[in-house]
């Protein structure tokens, strides 16, 4: 773990900041506080590239999550896509093949759970399917990301994916079994070696192509920009952030991060509900930075 002085020294050479959203920039009630917005905008004004790196889709991130003044690049869907905002061009694109996604949807639908996926499109396509609307209502009662009950599929998600014929950025499921994480992780490791499997939330298991991760996407963006890893800082809190914390020259875990993320980080800061990102940037980047 780095000391305060080592972090200050490393921060002086940082030219790109990769920021996770949920559990990092966003509070538990999904807000980006005014203090955090001010700190991130000040950093961007001083010439540091601020790059959202989230499990969410590109369109949703820009429109509903990050209210920052200058975003030039976005890493979305847990590293499936790197987008150049000015042109909409994908600098990195590693999706789950359509047939693999359909096979996975069919396998997951054998259980009474909720399966979801999204693609990187102009409309921000996002779909949920649940075998039982009763189960769905139980899962999403009072949820911040609730959608209309009538919009939920109860069968045939695999056929919808096949008919659509498009590759999928990310898929996920909500785990209801007590042994759910271990149970499904074993299935994925055995039946779907072409996929990454990671815990995206307290009850969510998510899947991307094994050819990508937030770390791989960040590495691709760094190569495109001609940046060395020592010029990159990454901040995150969860399983899907570990690869970018390991790649970045300065990997920072939130105080509320899972233990495995903290173990891989160079430094640990305050929690998301205590504006840990803002305090970190103010302390190590914005005081006296040229």
Q: 204-233 pLDDT, tens per residue? A: 899 999 999 999 999 999 999 999 999 999
What pLDDT score was predicted for residue 144? 44
**Residue 287 pLDDT class (50, 70, 90 cuts):** confident
pLDDT digit string (tens) for 3-44? 999 999 999 999 999 999 999 999 999 999 999 999 999 999
Mean pLDDT (whole number) for 159-171: 90
> Which percentage of the chain shows pLDDT scores above 70?
89
Instruction: Provide CB contacts within 8 A for 204, sequence distance 6+.
Output: 172, 173, 174, 175
Sign of CA dihedral 251, 22, 79, 175: positive
Q: Is the pLDDT of residue 139 over 80?
A: no
Residues in the chain, total? 290
Mean pLDDT (whole number) for 95-118: 86
pLDDT digit string (tens) for 54-98? 998 888 888 778 889 889 999 999 999 999 999 999 999 999 999
The whole-angstrom distance between residue 119's C-alpha and the CA centroid of its chain comes to: 14
Q: Is the pLDDT of residue 146 over 60?
A: no
Mean pLDDT score of the chain: 88
């Amino acid at each position: 773990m780095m000391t305060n002085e080592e972090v200050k020294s490393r921060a002086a050479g940082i030219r790109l900041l990769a920021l996770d959203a949920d559990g990092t920039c966003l509070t538990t009630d999904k807000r980006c506080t005014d203090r955090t917005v001010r700190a991130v905008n000040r950093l961007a004004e001083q010439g540091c590239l601020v790059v959202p790196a989230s499990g969410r889709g590109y369109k949703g991130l820009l429109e509903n999550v990050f209210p920052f003044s200058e975003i030039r690049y976005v890493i979305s869907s847990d590293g499936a896509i790197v987008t150049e905002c000015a042109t909409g061009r994908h600098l990195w694109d590693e999706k789950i093949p359509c047939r693999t996604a359909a096979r996975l949807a069919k396998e997951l639908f054998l259980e009474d759970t909720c399966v979801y996926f999204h693609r990187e499109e102009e409309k921000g396509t996002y779909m949920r399917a649940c075998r039982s609307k009763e189960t769905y209502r139980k899962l999403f009662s009072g949820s911040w990301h609730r959608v209309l009950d009538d919009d939920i599929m109860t069968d045939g998600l695999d056929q919808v994916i096949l008919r659509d014929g498009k590759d999928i950025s990310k898929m996920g499921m909500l785990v209801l079994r007590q042994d759910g994480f271990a149970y499904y992780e074993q299935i994925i490791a055995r039946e779907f070696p072409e996929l990454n499997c990671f815990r995206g939330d307290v009850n969510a298991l998510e899947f991307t192509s094994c050819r990508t991760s937030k770390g791989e996407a960040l590495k691709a963006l760094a190569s495109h920009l001609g940046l060395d890893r020592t010029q990159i800082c990454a901040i995150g809190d969860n399983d899907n952030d570990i690869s970018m914390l390991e790649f970045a020259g300065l990997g920072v875990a939130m105080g509320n991060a899972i233990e495995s993320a903290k173990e891989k980080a160079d430094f640990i800061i305050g929690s998301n509900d205590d504006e840990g990102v803002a305090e970190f940037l103010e302390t190590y980047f914005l005081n006296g930075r040229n």
